[in-house]
Chains A and B, each alone.
Chain A
Amino acid sequence: MEFLRPARWDEALAAKAAHPTAVPLAGGTDVMVELNFDRRRPDHLLDLGRIPELHTWETGPETVRLGACVPYARIIERLPGELPGLALAARTVGSPQIRNRGSVGGNLGAASPAGDAHPALLAAGAEVEVASVRGSRLIPVEEFYTGVKRNALADDELIRAIHIRKATGPQAFSKVGTRNAMVIAVCAFAIALHPRTRTVRTGIGSAAPTPVRARAAEDFLNAALAEGGHWDGGRAVTPSIAGRFAELCAAACDPIDDVRGSTAYRRHAVSVMARRTLGWTWEAFREGGAITGGGAQCA
């Protein structure tokens, strides 16, 4: 095994081009577990920890360009206004120690369906900026997940940053686990209201082979909200609309039965979270105030 320690981004890309099977190492919170338990023995480890630009972010007019290795703890502290859904999700990641090391880039690299960041990215709208010595490209996050723990990266590519749309309306994130900390999601749900485009987007985690959006549910809800003039009038979402939305979110799931939860429970829990988070965010929208957390104070 060889340990590669590029100090600059171009060196990292060159190293990845030279060693396409090299495993990128960011916070180490996934890769090191695999090394410690003898599940992975790559020829090369590619440490990205020394490349400054991966640890910073830039806030533009529409998006935040979040460096791949910005730890969750920074997102919680510094970006809850711009990225409220992601900040809520970040607070449920592992433990304080893990949040000090783990990053959205790492979550995307691992592409586990249970990664906590994914639903929030899907709901907010995001593109993954990936690069190689050949150049760089932006991949819509929906297209980034290609299978269980598989993503759209080519062998020579690394994740540079994630471009996440800044919140223009309330967002929420919920995650079911059987413990109150250090728990992998049994399933998770994110919702983001986008008042400017009059759309609602969703993200579901841990309830299908990849993180997914509940597109039929979004379409139904967007149509129902438009039809009822909800965006203008500030009318409440009726229980029947919320109920149908929740059903369609559950229908978007294709969960497995495993030690963490049953198929039926995951579907059920996604529907409950969909209904509740829609309620919180829509109420927050009607009140016109906070864009975070659907009215809940989390600290």
Chain B
Amino acid sequence: MRVTFTVNGRRHQADEVWEGESLLYVLRERLGLPGSKNACEQGECGSCTVRLDGVPVCACLVAAGQAEGREVVTVEGLAEYARARSDGAAAGARSERAAGDGTPAQPPVQPPPLAPVQQAFIDAGAIQCGFCTPGLLVAADELLEREPDPSDADIREALSGNLCRCTGYEKILDAVRLAAARGAETRP
């Protein structure tokens, strides 16, 4: 079957998709977006976490056909997603006008700088093998979007669906705290 949906702001179409394929398989093997990881394929590790219409889900448990017409954000688009969010927050109504004037957005010439949560994971030493990192980043970014100043208990609950086997989670907690603290510094 054919499946068409938006990934990281770009429309994608995949043909000859087997009906039993997951969104994860289509992203990784058909769309050339292997950032979302295939660690368990049973919803028990969170390595394939993506945003589906804004909601964090395990891409391994979404049938490809269920993504038809939907908006997906993966780790590959996280920096741009975070930038658009912060631009939107800073510019407020201005960005709405810009979006409404009919001028197509220019693709950035340079890749956008990392999302704050990505930079914090690097700085805090939260990445070792990195296989869990994409899913954790998507989940942590969504947490900070919802709750810019989370408590440790909030962080733990929000990330409880993401297994990490290398770090013992301490540096991941540090990273989310760090991203939150930096966010607080830049907020007016």
- Pair from one complex: yes
Q: Are A97 and B161 in contact (CB under 8 A)?
A: yes
Distance A47 CA – B67 CA, assembled complex (angstroms): 11
The 5 closest A-B CB pairs, nearest first, are A95-B161, A181-B160, A1-B19, A3-B65, A3-B19
| 23 A–B contacts from the bound complex (CB under 8 Å) | A25-B63, A29-B58, A32-B60, A33-B42, A36-B41, A45-B20, A94-B43, A95-B44, A95-B46, A95-B162, A96-B56, A96-B157, A96-B158, A97-B43, A97-B56, A97-B57, A97-B139, A97-B161, A98-B58, A100-B55, A100-B57, A180-B160, A181-B160
Decide if A227 is an interface residue (CB 8 Å cutoff).
no
A28 adjacent to chain B (CB < 8 Å): yes
Provided the pairs A29-B43, A47-B63, A96-B157 are in contact, do residues A1 and B18 lie with their beta carbons within 8 angstroms? yes
Q: CB within 8 Å of B: which residues of A?
A: 1-3, 5, 25, 27-29, 31-33, 35-37, 41, 45, 47, 49, 73, 94-98, 100-101, 180-182
Q: Give the docked Cα–Cα distance between A227 and B163 (Å).
A: 51
> Are A3's CB and B139's CB within 8 A?
no
B160 and A36 within 8 A (CB): no
**Contacts A5-B68, A25-B66, A97-B139 known; A32 to B46 CB distance under 8 Å?**
no
- Shortest C-beta distance, B155 to chain A (Å), equals 12
Name which residue of chain B comes closest to A98, CB basis: B43
| Pair B160/A96 contact, Cβ less than 8 Å | yes
Question: Do B62 and A28 have beta carbons less than 8 Å apart?
Answer: yes
Task: Output the nearest chain B residue to A4 by Cβ-Cβ distance.
Answer: B65
The smallest C-beta distance from B176 to any residue of chain A, in angstroms, reads: 14
Chain B residue numbers with a CB within 8 Å of A95 are: 43-44, 46, 160-162
CA distance A272 to B49 in the complex (A): 36
Query: Is the beta-carbon distance between A182 and B20 smaller than 8 angstroms?
Result: no
A100 to B61, CA, bound (A): 11
Contacting pair B65 A5 (CB below 8 A) = yes
Seen from chain B, the residues whose Cβ lies within 8 Å of a Cβ on chain A are 1, 18-20, 22, 41-44, 46, 49, 55-58, 60-63, 65-66, 68, 139, 157-158, 160-163
Closest residue of B by beta carbon distance from A43: B19
Contact B65 A32 (CB under 8 A): no
Q: In the assembled complex, which residues on chain B have CB atoms less than 8 Å from the CB atom of A96?
A: 56, 139, 157-158, 160-161
- Minimum Cβ distance to chain A for residue B162 (Å): 8
Q: Contact between B61 and A101 (Cβ–Cβ < 8 Å)?
A: yes
Most central of B19, B22, B41, B46 by chain A CB within 10 Å? B19
Asked if A97 meets B66 with Cβ closer than 8 Å, knowing A1-B18, A36-B22, A37-B42, the reply is: no
Is B20 touching A28 in the complex (CB atoms < 8 A)? no
Once the chains are docked, how many angstroms separate the CA of A29 from the CA of B65?
Answer: 15
Q: Contacts of B161 on A, CB cut-off 8 Å? A: 94-98, 181-182
Of A1, A101, A181, A182, which contacts B62 at CB under 8 A?
A: A101
Complex Cα distance A259/B68, Å?
38
